Chains A and B, each alone.
Chain A
């Protein structure tokens, strides 16, 4: 193998030379730089410029407005975004550990980021204003910071399901009465992965597996993402969907007849499963200044407002109001999940999904 590798290196060098010779004129043309609305120069902090590489697990339509606002504030920063699933990007970060490419990592749930922290991938940074956030959403050693909270809810089509008839617990979703009528996101979705990780901790492997198998027996349709789920429920294609809470509000805003249940609030039930989107600065990233400015911005009043207003999420910053009509989390009993513990066993969650063949 050693012998092979040496030859390979030589060969690849030849190719690299060839490529750079051919590709000299292929730099990205400058005229494509977006026009940025002018901002008072006082606001543009000096020294924040260059490329800011962001790996984001958030759906692109849910982060681009935030990036645009940041860009308006720091017009000299060029944002290079790589969107994908949380785990796909987490893998890339691990792969690149010796040769870091990203400056900032943004995820849609907390377990992945905690697990990467445990592998030493993040730099410590306490963003400006972090003291105003709930302490439980600051990572150990200031390794990551929570951005917003989201709840796992049940949405239903009000033309097909009465409010009194709608399932009040995620365990009702295995009821044969709903056979073939439920849509959810599949095993590659961060929100679904986090829900399974939380349930494993709350109930153990056996009960979680039983629930998942029950969903599959009940012919639940698993989509790649939640947008498909909310649209399908809104259109009446399915009666019920298992989603994050803001998908309900997004669908409602499109004028669809949909209702929401914050499940498992009864005596002896597990409570509402919640999750947090989060962000961290990658160890060894090339643009630390911009990365820090970006994290500051995400938890600033302006950044938090964008999440709350644009996407109906629960902001971390208490001073930022919820978007009108969003039910406050304080009204509900939340499931008690230990993040650090759940993150330690992320592979166990993947094993479980693989073993039962969750689509």
Chain B
């Protein structure tokens, strides 16, 4: 709040730097062009393509996609809020360990979780149905992980941590006095939870739910694997099947519209209510005793941890051992063409790391502008640079294929085009992290620096940057983490010989060779877990 108060004063001192505005404008343009191009292609795709798609596909895809997004968002919200309530507000045994274990599934890409659960649960062929059949001497019908039910289950299982983390932080920061007041007015504990606590947590929960909804729209691997058709997978099929990009562009245009509508809906929802707290009087809320619910609650949390974290990790580890012990499998895993396993791992690491560095660098002018000179224009630029959230990897890949091949052929078929896709797709995370880092920095620092004779550029490099480095690293960590997992954009844009861990997992798994896919999958999970650990350490609930 302090920052906002000093801003008018700041503006009197210096007007918006034209250089900064220009740089931020360039970044926004960089983000905007693929989007604009897809819309251009979609709207000029030709009446015939639209008619064909309207007659055959769009309505079914629309129904499928929205149904899945709604179900998974609802499911992830339910699971996430329940888990954060139990670990933050009750005397659940082992809650400190559970806090970690509930966040860790973020390191497991949903398609890898899907591969594991598919082999376990597949009717008749899966390990669990087989075991049941052995125990009971006859086949026992089990729910199939394929289709809508399976996709909703898997996506909920691996996306609830978004809601869990954001609502957990909100639970933690909630002031005890709010609930005390509610009880003073005669509400029971449960009434307080429903009528006071949860509504106060709404911003955190909505933000988490938004991430889930947008992620479902962008998801390709899981829905393709479990054979449930959404816009994302249909675009991919169009791209790889037909020798014509118009249909893919049309479907992409519709998908972007859905995503933007979800973003807009969230903005409206958030805009209606404000919950302000007085920080000076903050006290943590007391923990609620679970009493007779202790055992069921413990079992419930264990079940979630078991299926979203332990099962995938254990199964991947077991398969990896199996693969390492089988010389034939090992030989085929280790090489593809003249490239080796070390190449894939290295490609994954450097491409994601480079994307993280570039995304953070590009986010700086935007964040500086919106944090220091908040007005409608700078806010619009900042919002705009976050539109990558709403563009699935497959759409970014399509726009880059079309644009780069046409205007920058020398960049096409180099790893840099893959990096560019990562930057475009994951820039929002960098922008948000940089903005929040800058917002925590008092403008008086800059004023002092300027007073002491430094230029604005010197101030940025000598004063601001060193102070916000931890925040920037967090943004870079997020971009790195999500780039590592990115599948559809990598699949479509990779040059020959430039496979990443995610691509290797997919190449093997889509052919049905799950054991061969395991070592790359396990390494991917481990590589994601490391930055995730450091990101979580920054949060209060993980100290």
Q: Which chain A residues have a beta carbon within 8 Å of chain B's beta carbons?
A: 1, 4-5, 7-9, 11-12, 14-16, 18-20, 22-23, 26, 28-29, 32-34, 51, 53-55, 59-61, 64, 67-68, 71, 77-85, 87-88, 90-91, 94-96, 98-99, 101-102, 115, 186-188, 222-229, 231-232, 235-238, 346-347, 350, 354-355, 357, 359
Contacts and interface: CB of A to CB of B under 8 A. Distances in A.
**Do most interface residues of chain B lie in helix, strand or loop, or is the interface mixed?**
helix
A157 B422 CA distance: 46
B457 to A, nearest CB: 18
Nearest to B53: A354
B69 to A, nearest CB: 20
Nearest to B344: A32
Given A81-B497, A347-B243, A32 B332 contact: no
Nearest to B357: A22
Contacts of B239: 88, 91
Interface in B238-269: 239-244
Contacts of A80: 337-339, 495-497
A119 B125 CA distance: 44
A347 B347 CA distance: 36
Contacts of B40: 1
B364 to A, nearest CB: 13
A78 to B, nearest CB: 5
Given A9-B408, A11-B29, A53-B496, A224 B511 contact: yes
B218 interface: no
Nearest to B144: A221
Interface string B324-358: 00000000100111111011001100100010011
23 contacts: A8-B403, A8-B407, A12-B408, A15-B420, A19-B358, A19-B419, A32-B339, A34-B335, A51-B497, A53-B497, A60-B336, A64-B335, A78-B338, A80-B338, A80-B495, A81-B496, A85-B240, A101-B495, A188-B237, A226-B512, A227-B512, A346-B243, A357-B56
A11 B240 contact: no
Nearest to A33: B338
Contacts of A357: 56, 60
B413 interface: yes
A95 B401 contact: yes
Interface residues of B, number: 65
B517 to A, nearest CB: 11
A87 B241 contact: yes
Nearest to B361: A18
Contacts of B354: 19, 22-23, 26
Contacts of B338: 33-34, 67, 71, 77-81
A88 B412 CA distance: 16
A227 B511 contact: yes
B376 to A, nearest CB: 23
B63 interface: no
A64 B513 CA distance: 15
Nearest to B411: A16
